[in-house]
Amino acid sequence: QVQLVESGGGSVQTGAFLSLSCVASGSAFSLYAMGWFRQAPGLEREFVAAISRLGVSTQYAASVRGRFTVLRDNAKNTVYLEMNSLKPEDTGVYYCASRATPYNGISDLATDFGYWGQGTQVTVSS
């Protein structure tokens, strides 16, 4: 069982920077690709970014490419989401997720992720 705990959310203005962190429990963190998703009020959860288990490969949603960066530190069991040039449309609850199966590659499908954190709120005002 993997437990994920996100932190770093907050309320900022347009153009600001935020860095989210997600710490995973257990000793097998480096076996799993990780992802970030977000959900705005009244909308479905959407893919934001993903990173392979060793950090070699990354994938981004078109809406955040060039502004967001996903990183991981396997020694610290932590995955990060660095968010630059934030926009009001980036507002939502951000969730960290772990692939359900070890050694699988990155994915942008929520159904491929078996473990989820509780989420952290990001609010961007204009």
Structure confidence by residue, pLDDT tens digits, 4-45: 999 999 999 999 999 999 999 988 999 999 999 999 989 999
Confidence at residue 91, expressed as pLDDT on a 0 to 100 scale: 97
pLDDT value of residue 14: 98
* Kind plus residue range of the DSSP H or E element containing 13: strand 10-13
Identify the band that residue 124 occupies on the pLDDT scale cut at 50, 70 and 90. Answer: very high
Q: What are phi and psi of 119, to 5 degrees?
A: 95, 155
Write down the pLDDT at residue 27. Answer: 81
User: In the predicted model, is pLDDT for residue 2 greater than 90?
Assistant: no
Specify whether the CB–CB gap between 29 and 48 falls below 8 A. Answer: no
The predicted structure's pLDDT at residue 25: 93
pLDDT at 1 over 80: no
pLDDT per residue over 60-100, tens digit each? 999 999 999 999 999 999 999 999 999 999 999 999 999 98
Would you state the structure tokens that stand for residue 101, as one six-digit string? 């199966």
Instruction: Give the pLDDT of residue 31.
Output: 94
